[in-house]
Structure 1
Amino acid sequence: MEEEEARSFLARFVVEFPAALGEDSLLPVSPLSRKASMEELHGESLELGLRLLADRGAPAGLSALLCQAALSQLLQSDLSPFHCPQEAEANQEEGHQVVLIESESVLRLFLNKLIDVALTWHQNLPKLPSAPSRFLRCSVHAIKNTRRKMEDKHVILAEFNQLFGIQDGVERAYYAVFDGHGGVDAATYASIHLHVRLSKEKTLQSDAATAFKTAFKHTDDMFKSKAKRERLRSGTTGVAVLIQGQELTVAWLGDSQAVLVRRGQDVTLMDPHKPEREDERQRIEDLGGCITFMGCWRVNGTYAVSRAIGDFDQKPYVSGDADCSVTQLFGDEDYVLLACDGFFDAVRPSEVPRLVLDALRQLGDLDSGGDTPQEQEDVGLRVAQQLVGHAKAAGSSDNITVIVVFLRPTEQLLVQDATKGTAASHHAPQQ
């Protein structure tokens, strides 16, 4: 089926793009920036390639492979003709010259590489790697809610290995939620570049926690350079999950959170960073800062977060250092949920298992039948929408983003719950 879907998509794609884009052709996707550093080129190219393919209904696995192949060709090209003229003062950072590239021209070259790969594969499709064996069905929903702007971003990347050409036999999937403030720039930047930086870390396989911490710090440093060049002032909290083999690694900055549910019980993975948390307050005061209450607890009377990517006017009080936890997976895990504080301000982590089961039951009852694997899968995909609706009804006025990554088929969760209910009734005291 995967090969059949791939061939069908490629046949449609080459009809729309039968040849390379000409110099005067309109680009089918807009550049993410006017200028980009060489380091930013990797993430921006992949983001736009994946967006182009997703908009045309490409299978996710094929999209990752096409983008990886096109990027590999791009990085072997001579990009010096696309270098921007040196702007002596603007591009000086810590004593070295930063090379900036004219984004639109390089994007055109990347898209032409992508089209070329698609044309080649349409003629002779290579053997596609098999899909991950772990059940990783994902439900996601995000709303602006009553806020003026949507400043959340999220990433769903079950094809982590395919996108980065990793072939070590260890399955990987990556998920993240970024909750921006003061604008969406920092959240957008982290959603494009953090997983790219993570893929480049040498300790990824042996020590994912260290790899994550380094990737967060590097992404913060990269955004600092961009913020200086373009006078950006925003920040973002973030929570990211890497499922690597039988290991689940969570990394976070700020108050976005992840919760694991195992056999219907919530498992604490993390302690969110908030200014009023005692160790965070002490860290900030030791640096000479302060925590003040102005409707909520704020760092130096400004930001309501104590750790974030960005917020450079309050570094180091608002720290860019992520925390991590590692949890072993035994096969009896139900799902992992990631969400921003717009969700968790209205929902306690301990409430998550009940809310997800309620959503599964309600959606199952609304469906006609609901017994086939496909029908159960469709029910699972709508769970995040129910959770977001609950948080809004419970009083959240903030942007809300929820991702639920199911680690088992949803029907097993309902059977498990029914079994628990039966066992409980058997042990109920006689009246």
Structure 2
Amino acid sequence: MEEEEARCFLRRFVEEFPAALEEGCPLPVTPLSRRVSEEELHGESLELGLRMLSTRGSPAGLSALLCQAALSKLLQDDLSPFHCPQDAEANQEEEQEAVLLQSEAVERLFLNELINVALTWHQKLPKLAPSPSTSPYLHCSVHAIKNTRRKMEDKHLALAEFNQLFGIQDGVRRAYYAVFDGHGGLDAAVFSATHLHVSLSKQETLQSDAAEAFKGAFTHIDHMFRGRAKRERLRSGSTGVAVLIQGQELTVAWLGDSQVILVREGQTVTLMDPHKPDREDEKQRIEDLGGCVTFMGCWRVNGTYAVSRAIGDFDQKPYVSGDADCSTTQLLGDEDYLLLACDGFFDAVSPSEVPDLVLDALKRPDEPEEGGADPPLDQSDDAVGLRVAQRLVSHAKAAGSSDNITVMLVFLRPPLQLLARDSTAGRAGTTQDSTSHDAPPQ
């Protein structure tokens, strides 16, 4: 992140917000919920701040640092004036579960802390650490569509600035990416996208054992969402896949049938085995608990959900498990990219097809406007990479997917290097082998 870019944004921002928000004036961004528990405040405040800054063109690294500084100040404030009155209909057990805060009022305080930090930094910008997205190379291409479904129930998060957002200063680069595929509503997917990375950052084993940290974070989020679902009478669920790049170590965690694959030197590497009700070990686990897996158009747990693991779906716990699986692999420096996607993509596209589809997307210019000529092709890495996810989503839709589709590519080397390698291989008369490996790396 360049200092001049940060200064330019701060100058624009303080022109729009020269002082704290006055009581009673509308918030510039809408909170996710009406009431928030003290535990949920961390994730919802960060989401609110990042959304507000992103829509105004803030550099991602600066956004993370501003939000982290504002949240640190918020958590030092006395929040008791924002406690919600006790619900007269709530029983004693529910009252003891969580102290609830009035979301709009407490988020106004957070946004004012954010504005005050921006005003201070506009006067004197602190020394900013370089963005982790510049070294090693990381570029994210993401596209999501509702497709033919009535609602869009997918959520995703790309967070190359993981350390800055949580104030981690141990010298180890970290980046986090996740895709969540909701069902029965968007609530569980939104909750997971808002809170999983926050819970992960708080796990004691994050630095020593990221897989164990991920498992703890998923379990914690499932427990947190149970409280939200109970008080707001929610019935939704969400599968999810998340990755943490920590130094040269890649950790993948997943619940359900969303997936991630790694492509190394043009070949797909299997990192995980998605949870599906008809997977033999999943079927056995469900039956051992006294449940059943039946075929009703597709394989379903107890004749209801078509997923065997998910955040939420509490009416079918423990048959629909909230326990995540994880795998860890070392990055060797020859990796091309990661691809994360929901089942709306993988139901129509096999992992072995991905390398050729990505290369084809990298080679082709953007689609012309209807009735217009082909636009000029920007051959920068950013421009070349941005269109790839959109091409893959379009391919899955054309191949017959009717579900919500979310595709996220995290390039681990510049896209133009992939094109150059393919061009060299073509001149040599060779073909890239995109055969999928059978076993995940240990």
After TM superposition, list the pairs within 5 Å mapping 1:274-353 onto structure 2: 274-353=276-355
> What is the deviation of 1:417?
1.6
Distance in 2 separating the partners of 1:271 and 1:88 = 47
Q: Report the counterpart of residue 166 of structure 1 in structure 2.
A: 168
> What is the deviation of 1:70?
0.2
Deviations 1:372-424 (A, max 9, x none): xxx23201111000000000000000000000000000111112222333344
> Contact 1:263 / 1:416 at 8 angstroms: preserved in 2?
no
Q: Report the counterpart of residue 99 of structure 2 in structure 1.
A: 99
Distance in 1 separating the partners of 2:94 and 2:355 = 49
Q: Report the counterpart of residue 386 of structure 2 in structure 1.
A: 381
1:422 counterpart = 2:437: no
Give the gaps of 5 or more residues in structure 1: 427-431
Deviations 1:260-285 (A, max 9, x none): 00000000000000000000000000
Give the gaps of 5 or more residues in structure 2: 368-373, 432-442
1:194 counterpart = 2:196: yes
> Contact 2:239 / 2:256 at 8 angstroms: preserved in 1?
yes
Deviations 1:139-173 (A, max 9, x none): 00000000000000000100000000000000000
Distance in 2 separating the partners of 1:15 and 1:253 = 44
> What is the deviation of 1:425?
4.8
Distance in 2 separating the partners of 1:99 and 1:19 = 30
The one-letter amino acid of 1:414's match is L
The one-letter amino acid of 1:390's match is H
TM-score (norm 2): 0.93
Distance in 1 separating the partners of 2:36 and 2:91 = 11
1:407 counterpart = 2:409: no
> What is the deviation of 1:89?
6.5
- Percent identity at matched positions? 77
What secondary structure, in the 3-state scheme, does the structure 2 residue paired with 1:363 have? Answer: coil
Distance in 2 separating the partners of 1:406 and 1:214 = 28
1:251 alignment partner, one of 250, 253, 256:
253
The one-letter amino acid of 2:261's match is V
Q: Report the counterpart of residue 436 of structure 2 in structure 1.
A: none
RMSD, aligned CA: 1.6
> Contact 2:366 / 2:387 at 8 angstroms: preserved in 1?
no
Cα separation, partners in 2 of 1:347 and 1:80, compared to 1, 3 Å: same
1:62 counterpart = 2:62: yes
Deviations 1:41-60 (A, max 9, x none): 00000000000000100000
The one-letter amino acid of 2:426's match is G
> Contact 1:364 / 1:379 at 8 angstroms: preserved in 2?
no
The one-letter amino acid of 2:70's match is A
Cα separation, partners in 2 of 1:210 and 1:91, compared to 1, 3 Å: farther
Cα separation, partners in 2 of 1:215 and 1:139, compared to 1, 3 Å: same
Q: Report the counterpart of residue 429 of structure 1 in structure 2.
A: none
Distance in 2 separating the partners of 1:165 and 1:194 = 17
> What is the deviation of 1:361?
1.1
> Contact 2:181 / 2:342 at 8 angstroms: preserved in 1?
yes
1:227 alignment partner, one of 226, 229, 237:
229
TM-score (norm 1): 0.95
Between the two proteins, the alignment pairs up a number of residues equal to 423
What secondary structure, in the 3-state scheme, does the structure 1 residue paired with 2:365 have? Answer: helix
The one-letter amino acid of 1:73's match is K
Distance in 1 separating the partners of 2:430 and 2:247 = 38
